[in-house]
């Protein structure tokens, strides 16, 4: 007889969580790509109420460098040659001036009007889906039970330990895998309670119709251009979250994680006697 870990399937994600998760994947993907199409209409960002065209804090444009067109991305006082990707992209010989390349935008052709149609349509799907998730989660206690960190999890030593184990790609097993660790809880809360609502609020701030109904929102974010910048930075933070999230999904067991988000069942290892 030898003690070997046995795998047991547990119920990890409810049907509502799974459905809203995949709808978010669809909505956010198309919001991002259509948002880049809108950004391409004026690929520069500013702080304050107005566009100070001479001094953007970020810009992507074509410039002549030594008699050759190059894509130049400026961030603050730093300049980067991003030819082929940002500012001046496309196949060699048929490149065009645009902030983000055609493969990253919806639609792929240049059209501010069509980009806005795609963006607003999926913005409604995102908002309705998000409200449904929040209302259901609060009603069923999902947020309170599964996402709010316990007091002992918020101790500095515990948080540092979790950061260290994640950095070494060591993931919880057995009973510890039944619940989210403190890093997951804090990250998910930051995304669903801060970043995503911030994207919605700053998006509304850029709507002239909504400005007329709630002019205080523009002042809250320091002006329309500041709201546009915060909207862009929030979207960038969400992209960063998704990249890290996908890396950890792969590192901690790709098929196990995908199965849990499709069927709700997640396999954990428990100690037991097996012949």
- Confidence band, pLDDT 50/70/90 cuts, at residue 275: very low
Average pLDDT over residues 5-27: 89
Average pLDDT over residues 246-254: 90
> Euclidean distance between the first and final Cα of the chain, in Å?
5
Per-residue pLDDT reduced to its tens digit, 100-113:
999 999 999 999 99
What is d(CA 22, CA 103) in angstroms, rounded to the nearest whole number?
A: 22
- Confidence band, pLDDT 50/70/90 cuts, at residue 271: low
Contact 222, 22 (CB under 8 A): no
- Confidence band, pLDDT 50/70/90 cuts, at residue 1: very low
Helix or strand (DSSP H, E) at 22: helix 15-40
Residue 263 has pLDDT above 90, yes or no: yes
- Rounded to the nearest 10 degrees, the angle between the axes of helix 182-190 and helix 156-167 is 90
Per-residue confidence (pLDDT) for residue 272, from 0 to 100? 55
Per-residue confidence (pLDDT) for residue 5, from 0 to 100? 67
Per-residue confidence (pLDDT) for residue 220, from 0 to 100? 93
Average pLDDT, the chain: 89
Query: Considering the entire predicted model, what is its pTM?
Result: 0.88
**DSSP assignment of 225-254:** HHHHHHHHHHHHHHHHHHHHHHHHHHHTTH
Per-residue confidence (pLDDT) for residue 7, from 0 to 100? 79
Per-residue confidence (pLDDT) for residue 250, from 0 to 100? 92
Average pLDDT over residues 129-140: 91
Per-residue confidence (pLDDT) for residue 36, from 0 to 100? 97
- Rounded to the nearest 10 degrees, the angle between the axes of helix 15-40 and helix 112-140 is 150
- DSSP E strands in the chain: the ranges are 2-11, 44-45, 58-65, 68-75, 78-81, 87-89, 96-98, 265-274
Whether omega for the bond prior to residue 107 falls within 30 degrees of 0, making it cis, is yes
Per-residue pLDDT reduced to its tens digit, 142-182:
888 888 888 888 898 888 988 898 888 888 777 777 788 88
What is d(CA 231, CA 202) in angstroms, rounded to the nearest whole number?
A: 6
Name the 3-class secondary structure at 195. Answer: helix
Average pLDDT over residues 120-146: 90
Domain boundaries, the chain: 2-43+110-274, 44-99
Per-residue pLDDT reduced to its tens digit, 22-39:
999 999 999 999 999 999
- Rounded to the nearest 10 degrees, the angle between the axes of helix 254-262 and helix 224-251 is 120
- Bridge partners for 68 per DSSP: 65
Dihedral angle over CA of 223, 214, 137, 141, nearest 10: 100
Per-residue pLDDT reduced to its tens digit, 182-212:
888 999 999 999 999 999 999 999 888 888 8
- Bridge partners for 96 per DSSP: 89
User: Which CATH architecture does the domain made up of 2-43+110-274 adopt?
Assistant: Up-down Bundle (1.20)
Per-residue confidence (pLDDT) for residue 4, from 0 to 100? 62
Average pLDDT over residues 10-25: 91
Average pLDDT over residues 209-222: 88
- 65-74, 203-212, 240-249: segment of lowest average pLDDT: 203-212
Residue 3 has pLDDT above 90, yes or no: no
**DSSP assignment of 115-157:** HHHHHHHHHHHHHHHHHHHHHHHHHHTHIIIIISPPGGGGSHH
């Amino acid at each position: 007889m030898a003690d070997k870990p046995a795998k047991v399937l547990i119920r990890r994600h409810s049907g509502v969580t799974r459905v809203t998760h995949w709808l978010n994947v669809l909505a956010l993907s198309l919001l991002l790509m259509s948002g880049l199409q809108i950004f391409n209409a004026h690929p520069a960002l500013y702080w304050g109420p107005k566009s100070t065209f001479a001094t953007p804090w970020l810009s992507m444009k074509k410039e002549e460098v030594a008699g050759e067109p190059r894509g130049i991305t400026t961030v603050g006082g730093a300049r980067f040659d991003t030819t082929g990707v940002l500012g001046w992209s496309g196949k060699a010989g048929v490149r065009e001036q645009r902030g983000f390349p055609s493969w990253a935008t919806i639609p792929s052709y240049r059209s501010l009007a069509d980009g806005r149609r795609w963006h607003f349509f999926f913005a409604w799907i995102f908002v309705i889906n998000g409200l449904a998730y929040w209302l259901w989660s609060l009603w069923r206690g999902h947020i309170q039970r599964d996402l709010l960190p316990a007091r002992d999890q918020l101790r500095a030593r515990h948080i540092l330990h979790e950061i260290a184990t994640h950095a070494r790609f060591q993931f919880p097993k057995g009973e510890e895998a039944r619940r989210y660790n403190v890093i997951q809880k804090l990250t998910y809360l930051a995304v669903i309670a801060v970043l995503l609502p911030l994207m919605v609020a700053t998006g509304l701030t850029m709507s002239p119709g909504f400005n007329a109904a709630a002019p205080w929102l523009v002042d809250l974010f320091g002006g329309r251009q500041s709201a546009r910048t915060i909207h862009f930075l929030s979207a960038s933070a969400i992209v960063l979250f998704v990249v890290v999230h996908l890396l950890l999904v792969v590192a901690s067991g790709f098929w196990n994680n995908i199965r849990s988000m499709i069927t709700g069942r997640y396999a954990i290892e428990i100690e037991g006697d097996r012949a």
